[in-house]
Amino acid sequence: MSLRRILKLLGAFLMSQGVSVVTQLLVPPIFLHRYPHGVEMYGEWIALTAAVSYLATLHSGIQTYGNNQMTLHYNRGEIREFRIVQSSTMRLMLVNFLVAGGLGLVILRVPVAHWMGLRYIGARAAALTLFLFVLRLVAGWFFNFVSNSYQVIGELHRGLVWQNLQRLAAMLLLAGFLWERASFPVLALTQLASMVAFAAIVMVELRFRARVLLPSFRYGGLRDMLAVLKPGAYYMLFGLGGFLCWQGPVLVIEKILGPAAVAIFALTRVVFNVSRQLLSILSSSLSQETINLIARRSWGQLRRIYDLSERVVLLLDSGLAVGTLLACPFLLSVWLHKRGLYDPGVCMLMAAISAVMGIREHKYTFQRQSNRHQGVAKVCFVAYMGTILAGALTMRFWGVDGYLGSWLIAELAITTYVIRQNLKLFPSEFLPSLAPLPRAAGLLLFAFGAAAWPAWHDGAWPLYQVALVALAGTLLLLAISYFVFGVREVQAVFENRLRRRFALRQS
């Protein structure tokens, strides 16, 4: 187990989190305050973004499987197999480029504004914006494939740095043009330009730093393409499930409740996504080391990583979810200067969903890196499709709360299934313990029960009081979790590593 590699990835993901936080905190206020009908315009921008996201499923699965399989082959010394997977993935990418391009041209000819119920953007501008989003998505497929291929040589952190720089550049361009009240097509064009520019930069660096990673069409044939396509299709199915989870509700809420409800839902989700990203960072920082251990079949070390990382995730899970819930009136007031957007029911359900997702995302890391994702992909697709159908019915009676209730049930079902699949990843003599999970469930029930009364009343409290209660609740839950989940052992591991490194330097 390489603590140095884990820490490098952790640093890259922390940088990514910083970019995400800045993006999510900077862009919405500019929309809300610089554009006429700012809330509604932001809702329609989110809806347009969501409408094209389904195309990501055309290739994201193939790319994920290809990068993982290339890493497994390369670390086992199977260079020819590595080349075949690389070439097959590139050929499939070319096919998907053509399909996406065709769909983009169709978008220019159909009344998307009317179909989506858009009220504040013209029909031609809506179609052109979606077309540019498609081109940006196609460029993003290639950029993500070449930048993520650094995983093969154990330098995934470097690829993530390039991704972070691209997102930062795209965000700054977007913010600048938003400030000038640019049209939606111009905003979409800035995102496409930044993606193309950074794809070219990474290709130049690969030529000088790691020529083995340069994309090639020279190896393999149709049979090899099909060998990548079949397991990659399950990642595509998982990506489609992700579309149903993240963009699907935006489109349904836009159609049933209108753009103002979309804005409330999306902005509240941003608050909890930002807080949960810390857990995602911790889980994702294990990806490089996890796939290397699976390639070498080092099950004892893999179980060790699984156990220690689980303790850290459970330490933070309840504190982040409930602390964010209690802080919501303060965060919405400081961030958007619109405290009236706070809805205690929406925030309570979103906090519960965030807590469950934090655990599920950690468990799924091990399925994804081992390319044993087929069952999870099917379950996620069915669960999120059921969420959309059930939510479309329940939100007619209970508004956004109705949809969130359906989503929470789906997340509980998916998490249960992923945990069971994790056990099949390990040989019987290395099975991880399930003992921490009942304790986590009990702690979450206690935490949400204790937070219910202040969550329903702190919308009217002074902001300093809201912040103090949120901080006190977070610290209390962190202290309880530290002892409940035995985090002292994780602390001892880091302390021992640091002592040994310091002793080596002294000698």
At residue 507, the pLDDT reads: 56
Is residue 448 assigned to a domain?
yes
At residue 2, the pLDDT reads: 56
Return the closest-CA partner of residue 484 out of 362, 355, 314, 347: 314
382 touches 390 (CB < 8 A): no
- Distant-in-sequence, close-in-space partners of 167: CB < 8 Å, separation ≥ 6: 16, 19, 20, 23
At residue 4, the pLDDT reads: 66
Q: Judge if 169 and 275 occupy the same domain.
A: no
Query: Each residue of 260-298: b (16+ CB within 10 Å) or e?
Result: bbbbbbbbbbbbbbbbbbbbbbbbbbbbbbbbbbbbeeb
Output DSSP code: residue 149.
G
- Distant-in-sequence, close-in-space partners of 123: CB < 8 Å, separation ≥ 6: 111, 112, 113, 114
162 touches 137 (CB < 8 A): no
Which one of 218, 247, 276 terminates a domain? 247
Is residue 252 assigned to a domain?
no
DSSP state string for 108-122: TTS-HHHHHT--SS-
Q: Judge if 128 and 181 occupy the same domain.
A: yes
Q: Judge if 79 and 156 occupy the same domain.
A: yes
315 touches 93 (CB < 8 A): no
Residues in the chain: 507
3-state helix/strand/coil string of 66-91: HHHHHHHHHHCCCHHHHHHHHHHHHH
Return the closest-CA partner of residue 326 out of 453, 478, 466, 475: 466
Q: Judge if 311 and 459 occupy the same domain.
A: yes
Q: Judge if 238 and 277 occupy the same domain.
A: no
Residues 437, 164: Cα–Cα separation, whole Å: 34
497 touches 3 (CB < 8 A): yes
- Distant-in-sequence, close-in-space partners of 376: CB < 8 Å, separation ≥ 6: 238, 364, 367, 414, 417, 418, 421
Under DSSP, is residue 320 helix (H, G, I), strand (E, B) or coil?
helix
Output DSSP code: residue 432.
P
Q: How many domains does the chain have?
A: 2
Q: Judge if 337 and 476 occupy the same domain.
A: yes
Q: Judge if 155 and 274 occupy the same domain.
A: no
Q: Which tokens hold the place of 135?
A: 């081109």
Q: Which tokens hold the place of 457?
A: 């009343």
At residue 503, the pLDDT reads: 60
CA separation, residue 143 to residues 34, 138, 149, 296, 364 (Å): 32, 9, 10, 29, 24
Q: Judge if 325 and 451 occupy the same domain.
A: yes
Is residue 308 assigned to a domain?
yes
Q: Judge if 356 and 239 occupy the same domain.
A: no
Which one of 221, 247, 273 terminates a domain? 247
Which one of 205, 223, 247 terminates a domain? 247
Q: Judge if 240 and 264 occupy the same domain.
A: no
289 touches 6 (CB < 8 A): yes
Q: Which domain holds residue 118?
A: 1-247
Q: Judge if 468 and 436 occupy the same domain.
A: yes
pLDDT tens track, the chain, 507 positions:
555 666 666 676 677 767 777 776 777 787 777 777 666 777 777 777 776 766 665 566 677 778 888 888 888 888 888 888 888 888 888 888 888 778 778 777 777 766 766 777 777 777 888 888 888 888 888 898 888 888 888 788 888 889 889 988 988 898 888 888 888 888 889 989 999 999 999 999 988 888 888 888 888 778 888 877 777 667 677 777 777 887 788 888 888 888 778 878 888 888 898 788 778 777 777 777 777 777 777 888 888 888 888 898 999 999 999 999 999 999 888 887 777 778 888 999 999 999 999 999 888 888 877 767 778 888 988 999 999 999 889 988 888 899 999 999 999 999 999 999 888 888 888 888 888 999 999 999 999 999 999 999 887 889 899 999 999 999 999 999 999 998 888 777 766 766 666 665 555
Q: Judge if 241 and 330 occupy the same domain.
A: no
Residues 260, 148: Cα–Cα separation, whole Å: 37
